Amino acid sequence: MTFSPMFTCFTVISFLCMAAAAMAAGNFNQQFDTTWGDGRARVLQNGQLLTLSLDKTSGSGFKSKNQYLFGKIDMQLKLVPGNSAGTVTAYYLSSLGSAHDEIDFEFLGNLSGDPYILHTNVFTQGKGNREQQFYLWFDPTKDFHTYSVLWNPLSIVLSVDGTPIREFKNMESKGIPYPKSQPMWIYSSLWNADDWATRGGLIKTDWSQAPFTASYRNFNAQACTWTSGSSSCSSSGSSSNSWLSQSLGSTGQGRIKWVQKNYMIYNYCTDTKRFPQGLPPECSMA
């Protein structure tokens, strides 16, 4: 088989465009910096595994080296096992400042045998108060599971092991702010929040169980990195960035309904006591 110069050029350009917008399953040494914890955040196995630890002195955390403005981002986590009451493992995207945007996964620990609570939130221009909470349909401490964020100009979709659990649509045309102009870093931290995390703070952290450890692997980002005011996707081919226009079809919507029917334990959009003057406007439009 022979290749024309035009075919070869197109192939090379396509490859370079895909490389600009996508990052292979991550090496934590190359993709992240440990930001706090005085050695409690550790990168192991030649960059393939990262662990965060919490003891009575301190928790720990890390942050991506890159900023992203839209992306399809996966991370596998294995949460603190046993009696994890009082601990919070947070994994989220966020920009900076009082008007920041943010997309949250927070895993609230519990007593041995009781389920973790997955707490999610979306902030736009510094305003959150969009909490949805779920139980998981598996034990997140026994093995690694994949927690994903699809963030594009159309919507934000949070997924667990490929099953969508939540969607926040772009409803700017209805006057509802949407995260679209502030690049975000990826953060994660393991910290003590026993004043609120487990049963509203009734259950405190059992420090005899410390250190508490959460583990991370297989980071993957098909994403637009943001450098010096420009996006890596601005010159990329559309075929490599199909996720930028991806949205949930009827199957995905059905799976969200299944999760929310069977595993959702709190939804701000049904909390009329919290919002006596009326539910947030997106609740009636979603």
Q: Which residues in 267-285 are b (16+ Cβ under 10 Å) and which e?
A: ebeeeeeeeeeeebebeee
From the candidates 102, 131, 167, 172, give the one annotated as an active-site residue: 102
For the question of residue 102 being annotated catalytic, the response is: yes
262: burial class by Cβ within 10 Å (0-12, 13-18, 19+)? exposed
Count of Cβ atoms closer than 10 Å to residue 242 Cβ: 11
Distance CA 284, CA 56 (A): 44
Q: Is the link from the previous residue into 177 a cis peptide, with omega within 30 of 0?
A: no
Strands 212-227 and 185-192: unpaired
Distance of CA 86 to the CA centre of its chain: 21
From the candidates 106, 131, 172, 282, give the one annotated as an active-site residue: 106
| Contact criterion met (CB below 8 Å) for 177 and 127 | yes
| Contact criterion met (CB below 8 Å) for 139 and 154 | no
For the question of residue 172 being annotated catalytic, the response is: no
- Residue (of 31, 34, 94) closest to 62 by Cα position: 34
**Helix, strand, coil share (%) of the chain residues, nearest 5:** 20, 40, 40
- Active-site residue set: 102, 106
